[in-house]
Amino acid sequence: MNRPVAKAKPKTSTKPKAASSTPHSSVNPNKISSQRYDRLPLAGGMGQKAQGKTAFATWYSNGSFPCQLMTGTAKMSLRWKQEFELMDYSTLLPIAIEGLMEAAHPYISVSQLACRDMLEAPVAAELVPPILPTIAQKLREVLVASARISVESFSAVLDNVERISVLCGEQFTPLIQPLLVPIGSMLMKRTGRDPKIDIQSQCMNTLQVLDENGGPQAYEIIHKKIPTYQR
């Protein structure tokens, strides 16, 4: 029996919009709704003994990670204690990405918000490219681990793969091959699905984001590793 071919979603018009020329990404720019984390177990917060399993949990719990979760509304956000321009991205961003492996609130929610804020800060275009090899290695590690934790965790990592692709473009392309193995595995997975998250569609969209932002070599790299991906 022939293997079904997974095709990318139809692309939208390539004509730039008058108000924005931001590269393609499916990541929701709005604040993260607390409802997404209502069903997650609770762990200790800032100032309490870390109950997580990553360096991020330890850093956040003892106050070393320079942000605080602001609650009380339907939309969660972070209050940063330091300007992004003054942050050590080479240390803090990999730690924030590692936090995406956490399964309990507040760690998973804070780490996702921290990654989003750091990658979408204007200074990220200057500070992230020099540390891309470290970031790509951490992303691969977290993708593999999160696939065994939950679809929500894996989805959160994909969000940040897309953000980095949009931010760094072709600079990211030589580093994406190790990421394609866990993405391809999740794409073909047919068991353990979460009815609230269409992870197969998100995997396909992430591949499309990597393709569209990664320059002429991106498609060849993706298609070689995941033959079912087609434009």
Whether residue 192 sits in one domain with residue 168: yes
Sign of the CA dihedral with 198 first, then 199, 201, and 205 last? positive
Whether residue 153 sits in one domain with residue 214: yes
Mean residue pLDDT of the chain comes to 83
Encoded tokens for 15: 């004509």
Contact 31, 40 (CB under 8 A): no
The reported pLDDT for the residue numbered 39 is 47
Domain of residue 102, residue span:
30-127
Q: How far is CA 58 from CA 43, 44, 107, in A?
A: 12, 10, 10
Please state, in angstroms and rounded to a whole number, the distance separating the CA atoms of residues 14 and 184: 27
Strand 67-70 relative to strand 32-33, pairing:
unpaired
Helix (H) or strand (E) holding 57: helix 55-61
Whether residue 46 sits in one domain with residue 107: yes
| Per-residue confidence band for 188, with pLDDT thresholds at 50, 70 and 90 | confident
* Lowest-pLDDT range of 5-14, 55-64, 202-211: 5-14
Whether residue 116 sits in one domain with residue 41: yes
Whose CA is closest to 95, among 49, 64, 133? 64
Share above pLDDT 90 across residues of the chain, in percent, rounded to a whole number: 66
The reported pLDDT for the residue numbered 71 is 78
Can you tell me the mean pLDDT for 124-130?
98
Whether residue 188 sits in one domain with residue 167: yes
Secondary structure (3-state) at 145: helix
Whether residue 228 sits in one domain with residue 186: yes
Q: In degrees rounded to 5, what are phi and psi of residue 124?
A: -60, -35
Whose CA is closest to 78, among 43, 109, 121, 38? 109
* Lowest-pLDDT range of 120-134, 183-197, 209-223: 183-197
Specify if 1 maps to a domain: no
Specify if 144 maps to a domain: yes
**Highest mean pLDDT: which range of 17-21, 44-48, 52-56, 173-177:** 173-177
Specify if 50 maps to a domain: yes
Contact 185, 210 (CB under 8 A): no
Sequence-separated (6 or more) residues with CB below 8 Å from residue 72: none
| Per-residue confidence band for 26, with pLDDT thresholds at 50, 70 and 90 | low
Q: In degrees rounded to 5, what are phi and psi of residue 162?
A: -65, -45
The reported pLDDT for the residue numbered 11 is 44
* Domain boundary, last residue among 127, 151, 169: 127
Whose CA is closest to 76, among 27, 118, 110? 110
Sequence-separated (6 or more) residues with CB below 8 Å from residue 65: 56, 59, 92, 95, 96, 110, 114
Whether residue 153 sits in one domain with residue 110: no
Q: Encode pLDDT of 75-116 as tens digits.
A: 889 999 999 999 999 999 999 999 999 988 899 999 999 999
